[in-house]
Amino acid sequence: MARNGNGRGDIAHDFLGSAQIFASAVEEVVEKRILEESAGKQLTLSQFKLLKMVALTDAQTITDVALFLGVSNAAASKAVDKLVRRKLLRRAEGQPDRREIRLSLTEASRRLLADYDEKKARKLSQIFNRFPPDELKRTAHLLDRLSAELVNHHHSPDEVCLQCGIYFREQCLVRQLVKRNCFYQRNKSQQPSTPILSEITSPEK
């Protein structure tokens, strides 16, 4: 798309630039910084997100993990094994299908996630309470629509995972576009109490 100085192409590039800056700020300030405060150098961000996936979803196969992380099945299996060795995950083969796995958190990983969630909620409250709730809802709804449209232009939308559950979303954006039996379903019994997140991410009815 060519930039023409005052057309939609220019607006699109400016919007994507702002979105990228925001995403980078979230990763650096909200995710990496708070993770380091909670776990030191113990975990990478990718390993941490894998723990969150186990806490919030019903993933049952290495393929699920690979799709979530955006890596090969072999790399996903290694990632799981590494966390198992560090006693942050438990892994058991499914019965009767041994291709399925049962991943669960350990007491150590549960404490780590709880500490992270507490610090994250405090940080988000400090930041987002400065903005009007209606404005945040409208912005979140617009971002959802744009994300869905971008995925719809992917050559294989069913292979895309936006990691919706980690951000406490009720519905997967990708499932709204393609008929996919997505594993990424939040366990209702484990739903974290994070009011500010539900406020700023729920699309308008």
pLDDT tens digits, residue range 37-74? Answer: 999 888 998 899 899 888 877 666 788 888 778 889 89
Who contacts 166 (Cβ-Cβ below 8 Å, separation ≥6)? 49, 52, 53, 56
Contact 57, 184 (CB under 8 A): yes
Domain ranges of the chain: 31-201
Please name the helix (run of DSSP H) or strand (run of DSSP E) that holds residue 9, with its range, or none.
helix 8-25
Three-point CA angle 41, 46, 50, nearest 5°: 110
**Residue 37: what pLDDT?**
92
Identify whether the C-beta of residue 46 lies closer than 8 Å to the C-beta of residue 78. Answer: no
Size of the chain in residues: 205
Give the SS3 label for residue 138: helix
pLDDT score, position 167: 60
Which class would CATH give 31-201? mainly alpha
* Site of tokens 């994250």: 120
Q: How far apart are CA 137 and CA 134, in angstroms?
A: 5
CB within 8 Å of 113: residues ≥ 6 apart: 51, 52, 55, 105
List 92's β-bridge partners, or say none.
102
Statement: the pTM of the whole predicted model exceeds 0.75: no
Under-70 pLDDT residues of the chain? 1-7, 58-60, 94-99, 155, 157-205
